[in-house]
Amino acid sequence: MNTATTTQGSHDSRGHDSSEHDSGEHHDQNAHDHKPKGIMRWILTTNHKDIGTLYLCFSFLMFLIGGAMAMIIRAELYQPGLQIVEPNFFNQMTTVHGLIMVFGAVMPAFTGLANWMIPMMIGAPDMALPRMNNWSFWILPMAFAILLSSLFMEGGGPNFGWTFYAPLSTTYSPPSTALFVFAIHIMGISSILGAINVVVTIINMRAPGMTYMKMPLFVWTWLITAFLLIAVMPVLAATVTMVLTDKFFGTSFFAAAGGGDPVLFQHIFWFFGHPEVYIMILPSFGIVSAIIPTFSRKKLFGYSSMVYATASIAILSFTVWAHHMFTTGMPVAAELFFMYCTMLISVPTGVKVFNWVATMWRGSLTFETPMLFAIAFIILFTIGGFSGLMLAITPADFQYHDTYFVVAHFHYVLVTGAIFSIMAAAYYWLPKWTGNMYDERLGKIHFWASLISVNVLFFPMHFLGLAGMPRRVPDYALQFADFNQLVSIGGFAFGLSQLIFLVVVVKCARGGEKAPAKPWEGAEGLEWDMPSPAPYHSHTTPPVIK
Amino acid sequence: MHKKIIIGAASILLSLSAAAEIETPSKYNLTQGVTDTSQQVYDLHMIILYICIVIGIVVFGAMFYSIINHRKSKGAVAAQFHESTKVEIIWTVIPFVILIAMAIPATSVLIDMEDSSKSDITIKITGSQWKWHYQYFDHDFGFYSLLTTPQQQIQNYSHSTNIEPKGENYLLEVDRELVLPIGKKIRFLITADDVIHSWWVPAFAVKQDANPGFINEAWTRINEPGIYRGQCAELCGKDHGFMPIVVRVLEQKDYDIWLQQQLQQVASAKKAAEQALASTLTMAESMTLGEQVYLTRCAACHQVNGAGIPGAFPALKGSAIALGDITKHIDIVANGKPASAMQAFSKQLTAKELAAVVTYERNAWGNDTGDVVQVTNVNLTEAK
Ligand code: HEM
Ligand SMILES: [Cu+2]
Ligand SMILES: [Cu+2]
């Protein structure tokens, strides 16, 4: 709070043109940016940009580790038979791959973007709770160190799927489950702290005149996401705690023998789990709603309807959880309720897609890398939405459930959805972050390589699922062999393509063509009024909102 | 990108026409199956797929029109229009109406699928790590159904020449199939002994979770005789990928013959068990039978070499139980260990098999106790 309020009060000039300007004149101890050098700068930092950078780098590291596990999975599935890993290790790979991608790659990337962009977008000098901000980041590497170390324990790491259904995760799980539970707790605390910071920042630190309905959509979607996080992360914490006590302390929440019910586990998990999938997509909607207008040189078609659509998706996301559980033997009435609600949720999702297309319509389009990723996002996320709609039809879901069709669905929404939007955001804001333009040619190569390989990777999974291949199996019947080979080839190609991204980012951080304050002709928003790279402290005096 | 979509759409359409012609399950599309229900499910699947394709063509079409024609490089100047309540209402209401139209048939199919009343035959299906058990409720007999694909095929052993290559039904073959008649309403009662499994036969459009401690219901009425294959669909541990389901569906008269044979076999097995009680097992005989049983039932966890998997499944080689008190050893094999992956095998093996496998464990891998367990020992321990 210190940094924020004192800096805000200490300046009377408005507007900053250069970063040198920023370091020159300071009256308050807390307001200077004479940061410690070397590693201590990063460990002690309370600066929203440093913390944002930490989150983003950490997320990319996790993306690579989780990706390496995916490569192991795809290598094993390249041919029928068991070639390189044994089934128990295979299960550990699918489990930890899922956990790392969800909690280590996608969620921290969004928090990183929130840290970097929200203060700049709403005209605030920093996040509202900078010290807490430091903690919410630094406990995260510890959580993942614990999770990854459990793989080396006797008996192996978690092997019960990222959804850790009981009693596979209780009575029948390896002893390292205790570490898994602890790691999830820490990740949850990190998310909750991050979310509280976002909420407090947005509610209290908007510049004068920045009314709610003037906030950029990225800020809106993150505000709603943060409320979702605060609502459901404690539910996840409760779930893992019950797993812990069932396994180690003799309770029977999920064991029929003691009066519990394994299906109860699934209800509680998915009450967290479904809002969680929206936590992983709402910020993407915000990103795409910033990029599409910029490169269409045209205002977003329906700003307010986008806000309302996001809010309705968030509310509805609490009423659909059991669509993951249609085969558990629910009463028909419940199945009907969850089928209708799930179908309903695709209406506001559709509204968003229509809005983006209407924004592009009769615009003046150019296709820089962020725009390419944003367009690919719209198309491929929509394909994921279509398969979601198919999965919502309960009788059909009996056939699709727990097959590769579901795997295809959630990778379309998460990889070509969430991850593509994160890539788009990185390219879009890299000039602002580093002060340099990224290499556009390499960026385009990264895009096309990713686009082609990701579809070779995930599209055939639809066919595999429809033809009857179950998910989470280390080996398969011969009729699935050729598609699996194709999928694996796509997987390796997609994995390698991401190294291009690493090169682009490192090159851009090191130097390159100097970026102007506003490198994109059609861009709007307060972040573009600041110089590039953005000064260490954002708006030290509140900007004027038109 | 454009091309991808076209190829994608084309291959979907292609596969649809292909599926219409051939009876064997399509490689690209959902099976139509062999029940009225599976046909209805297939129809729902196709309707919703076509709806998605049409919406996709409209939305992506508009988008690509923009991408091609409204480029800055072509001199396009951005229009200024935005915000229109009318348009927003239109594109909220139209999808809503489409969805209601979709929900109506889905609802009626679902209600029908969940009505398992007035059934002719009841089969109780129990999943356990990693096999299925089928109990013919009306005739009071049942059996286990295990994967028969040899480990050598799964592990790709190619050096030994006497191993057959992976066959057509690799991973989808079992020792004893579930046998059902056509035309009867068959009710399944589905449950599990340990973790959650899920019984799935695509051709019947039946997928129902097997929850330990609870019983789920499902039903089917099959129209065509034949052999139908499926797999466990819920992650259930290490060998989740290795617990297939095979159903042989017969004409009623063939089914009746099969049923008679089964009942006779059950009767003669009972007699054999009584005789076994009186006979004495030799070491050699016990070791051969014991090894067979061990490889099919025990090796998945305790491993072929008896070394187990540290931290997950205990070793038997040199273990205190395998070298210690015989009654304790028999007890844990027969009755299992509560709250662990060690099942009670007395339900799954005959007394003779039980005795043999215990003998095997006490004498294999250098566990040279020299003990030969007799059927009578087993019966005494079990009774306790
Ligand atoms: C139109 C919107 C959507 C609908 C109607 C929808 C519907 C569904 C349904 C019914 C399932 C359960 C399938 C099954 O297990 O049988 C499912 C699974 C899943 N969906 Fe979606 N979905 C939608 C959008 C999304 C989005 C936006 C995300 C994430 C960004 C997402 C992520 C997932 C994940 C991760 C799973 C699988 C979880 C697991 O079992 O491991 N979905 N979806
Ligand atoms: Cu969901
Ligand atoms: Cu199973």
Q: Which domains does chain A have, with CATH numbers?
A: 44-249 (1.20.210.10), 281-531 (1.20.210.10)
Can A126 be counted among the known catalytic residues? Answer: yes
Q: Which residue type occupies A304?
A: S
Per-residue pLDDT of B115-127, as tens digits, reads 989 999 999 999 9
Residue of A nearest to B45 (CA): A396
Distance of CA A305 to the CA centre of its chain: 23
- Token couple for B229: 């294959």
**In this complex, is the C-beta atom of B303 within 8 Å of any C-beta atom belonging to chain A?**
no
pLDDT at A33 over 90: no
A368 near A347, Cβ under 8 Å?
no
Burial label for B111, CB within 10 Å (0-12, 13-18, 19+), is middle
Select the CATH number that applies to the domain covering B277-383 from these four: 3.20.110.10, 3.40.140.10, 1.10.3720.10, 1.10.760.10. 1.10.760.10
d(CA B291, CA B268) in angstroms, rounded, equals: 24
pLDDT at B349 over 90: no
Task: Quickly state the pLDDT bin for B380 (edges 50, 70, 90).
Answer: low
The pLDDT of A199-218, averaged and rounded, is 96
Per-residue pLDDT of B16-26, as tens digits, reads 444 444 445 67
Higher pLDDT, A393 or B7: A393
State the Rg of chain A over Cα. Answer: 23
d(CA B206, CA B185) in angstroms, rounded, equals: 13
| Minimal-distance CA residue to ligand 1 atom 6 | A388
Query: Annotated catalytic residue: which of A45, A136, A190, A394?
Result: A190
Give backbone dihedrals phi and psi of B168, rounded to 5 degrees, phi first.
-55, -35
The pLDDT of A197-215, averaged and rounded, is 96
Side-chain half-sphere CA neighbours of A90 within 13 A: 23
Looking at chain A, the whole-number percentage of residues with pLDDT higher than 90 is 90
Per-residue pLDDT of B159-216, as tens digits, reads 656 678 888 999 999 999 999 999 999 999 999 999 999 999 999 999 999 999 999 9
* Domain over B2-73+81-114 is classified CATH 1.10.1060: no
Per-residue pLDDT of B50-86, as tens digits, reads 999 999 999 999 999 999 999 999 998 989 888 899 9
Pocket test for ligand 1, best of A399, A413, A415, A422 (most atoms within 8 A of CB): A413
Ligand 2 centroid from CA A71, angstroms:
26
Task: Quickly state the pLDDT bin for A8 (edges 50, 70, 90).
Answer: very low
CATH (residue range B121-270)? 2.60.40.420
B307: nearest Cα among A173, B299, B130: B299
pLDDT at B15 over 70: no
Give the total residue count for chain B: 384
A288: nearest Cα among A220, A224, A202, A362: A220
A3: nearest Cα among A230, A205, A191, A195: A205
Higher pLDDT, A4 or B272: B272
Give backbone dihedrals phi and psi of B372, rounded to 5 degrees, phi first.
-120, 115
**Angstroms from B240 CA to nearest CA on chain A:** 7
The pLDDT of A483-503, averaged and rounded, is 97
Chain B residues with beta carbon closer than 8 angstroms to that of A263? 211, 214
In whole numbers, what is the pLDDT of chain B averaged over residues? 88
Domain boundaries, chain B: 2-73+81-114, 121-270, 277-383
Using CA atoms, how far residue B261 sits from B100, B141, B226, B265, in Å, is 52, 12, 19, 6
A346: nearest Cα among A420, A402, A409: A409
Q: Give the model's pLDDT for residue B20.
A: 43
pLDDT at B155 over 90: no
The pLDDT of A382-402, averaged and rounded, is 97
The pLDDT of B319-345, averaged and rounded, is 85
Using CA atoms, how far residue B105 sits from A98, A137, A336, B79, B174, in Å, is 35, 49, 12, 43, 37
Query: In which element (H, E) is residue A285 found?
Result: helix A282-296
Per-residue pLDDT of A271-308, as tens digits, reads 999 999 999 999 999 999 999 999 999 999 999 999 99
Query: Which residues contact residue B330 at a Cβ distance below 8 angstroms, ignoring those fewer than 6 apart?
Result: B354, B358, B373, B377, B378, B381, B382
B45: nearest Cα among A271, A348, A328, A403: A403
B345 near B372, Cβ under 8 Å?
no
In whole numbers, what is the pLDDT of chain A averaged over residues? 93
The pLDDT of A384-403, averaged and rounded, is 97
pLDDT at A12 over 60: no
d(CA A473, CA B241) in angstroms, rounded, equals: 5
Q: Give the model's pLDDT for residue A414.
A: 97
Can A162 be counted among the known catalytic residues? Answer: yes
Q: Give the model's pLDDT for residue B368.
A: 85
Using CA atoms, how far residue A161 sits from A88, A106, A164, B234, in Å, is 11, 18, 5, 10
State the Rg of chain B over Cα. Answer: 28
Query: Annotated catalytic residue: which of A97, A401, A432, A446?
Result: A97
Task: Quickly state the pLDDT bin for B379 (edges 50, 70, 90).
Answer: confident
Distance of CA B66 to the CA centre of its chain: 48
The answer to whether the B121-270 and B277-383 domains have the same CATH topology is no
Q: Give the model's pLDDT for residue B324.
A: 87
Interface predicted TM-score (ipTM): 0.91
- Token couple for B146: 């295990």
